[in-house]
A and B are shown apart, each in its own frame.
Chain A
């Protein structure tokens, strides 16, 4: 038996008026999303300095408990949200993907900080993954280096907005054939295999990073080793003394 979709609407103004009289009108969808967005349990999982900001967000001053997200779970099985807080090195990336796979549906990911978005300052490095979105889908990208606790709270609020927009009838985790486990990359001789998962992420057509960045290989004019031996340095000719500023004659009355 197919359920008829519920199309009944109560406009917000009427709802507010009724609420003042102590009558609550709601929908199952709103209740469902209200419950979910008010109890997002993040995974207790930090990789680098962003994790310190995440800890600060959980402490009393910023108090992530105001948003119902204070229960940092030490197991991916109990967590709704993975905050990828910090640099994802190539050595750590398989474990991050594995943890994502182990989370129960519905699951969300916030990438916190420049490193987990795109490699950050280590983008040219041989050992840092250029963004965890190469292997797993990401809901909220949260830039900063590291983002302040307010920013993490803002990211959490954005995630709550996203949750509010989801429908219980069409939620993908109740549909058949949902595949939200991604193959775990392996260590290869030059980096991770594969370099990215094309189902999740694909390189942009015109990536300006290719022109601006890239591996600086100092071969060519810069190949000469700096001469570390003590060399007598010829005394550099002294620059011509700049024209002496016009001296103000001492004023007679100032003596």
Chain B
């Protein structure tokens, strides 16, 4: 679908909406405008984009981005792609669940893996990772654990369950705890610095 035409129609109908064409998709510059834009595209007789096929996210380090793909089942058109960029420090986007029920699990998925908070979501909690998991593993600054080194939590747990832990592993765990460090996966050499 012609992005420039969609943009012109949106600006005509909604007045001051900051939109920008980015690579045949529409960047909604102010995240709070998103429900307005989506509602127009869903309900306007010329578009009738009644199907939200995907809500996905990506981490661009400078910001987090959510991408929406809208299709029309009625008119057999689409997709219209919407992008929303939010800062990493305060990633909040209004939820589209009230417009598209299909967004519910996908927004939960993005919340789980990227930590983007969809305001107004009826049940925003982790969907893939378990309750009590810390951090957002698809963010680029997520530090993965080193799965070969036991930490003091592991040693305590193992001894509580009657498993003998080798002395070397125990000493390593104590050392890590004294330094106040976690055992983290090593980085690739070319990525250092």
Contact = CB atoms under 8 A, between A and B. Distances in A.
- Chain A bound to chain B: yes
Interface of A: 91, 124, 126-127, 130, 183, 186-191, 193-199, 202-203, 207, 210, 214-220, 222-226, 228-230
Given A214-B187, A215-B187, A197 B23 contact: no
B77 interface: no
Contact of A183 (B128, B132, B161, B193): B161
A224 B63 CA distance: 11
Nearest to A202: B166
A197 B150 CA distance: 10
B57 to A, nearest CB: 14
Q: Which secondary structure characterizes the binding site on chain B?
A: loop
A197 B154 CA distance: 9
Nearest to A129: B147
Given A217-B187, A223-B61, A195 B182 contact: no
A225 B145 CA distance: 25
A145 to B, nearest CB: 21
Interface size class of B (residues with CB under 8 A): 35 or more
B187 A195 contact: no
Interface of B: 21-23, 60-63, 128-135, 137, 140-145, 147-151, 153-155, 157-158, 161-166, 169, 182, 185-188, 191-193
Contact of B134 (A190, A203, A230): A190
B149 to A, nearest CB: 7
A190 B157 contact: no
Contacts, number: 111
A217 B128 contact: no
B166 A217 contact: no
A31 to B, nearest CB: 37
A193 B154 contact: yes
A194 B150 contact: yes
- B141, B147, B165, B193: most-surrounded residue (chain A CB, <10 A): B147
A225 to B, nearest CB: 4
A230 B23 contact: yes
5 contacts: A126-B142, A190-B182, A195-B154, A214-B186, A215-B144
Nearest to A184: B161
A194 B191 contact: no
A198 B163 contact: yes
A223 to B, nearest CB: 5
A16 to B, nearest CB: 49
B163 to A, nearest CB: 5
B191 A127 contact: no
B135 A190 contact: yes
A206 B35 CA distance: 55
Given A127-B137, A214-B188, A230-B21, A187 B130 contact: yes
Contacts of B137: 126-127
Contacts of A226: 60
A194 B130 contact: no
Given A187-B130, A198-B158, A202-B166, 14 more contacts: A127-B129, A130-B147, A191-B147, A195-B145, A196-B150, A207-B148, A215-B186, A215-B187, A215-B188, A217-B188, A218-B61, A218-B191, A223-B61, A225-B60
A232 to B, nearest CB: 14
Q: Nearest 4 pairs between A and B by C-beta?
A: A194-B154, A225-B60, A183-B161, A189-B134
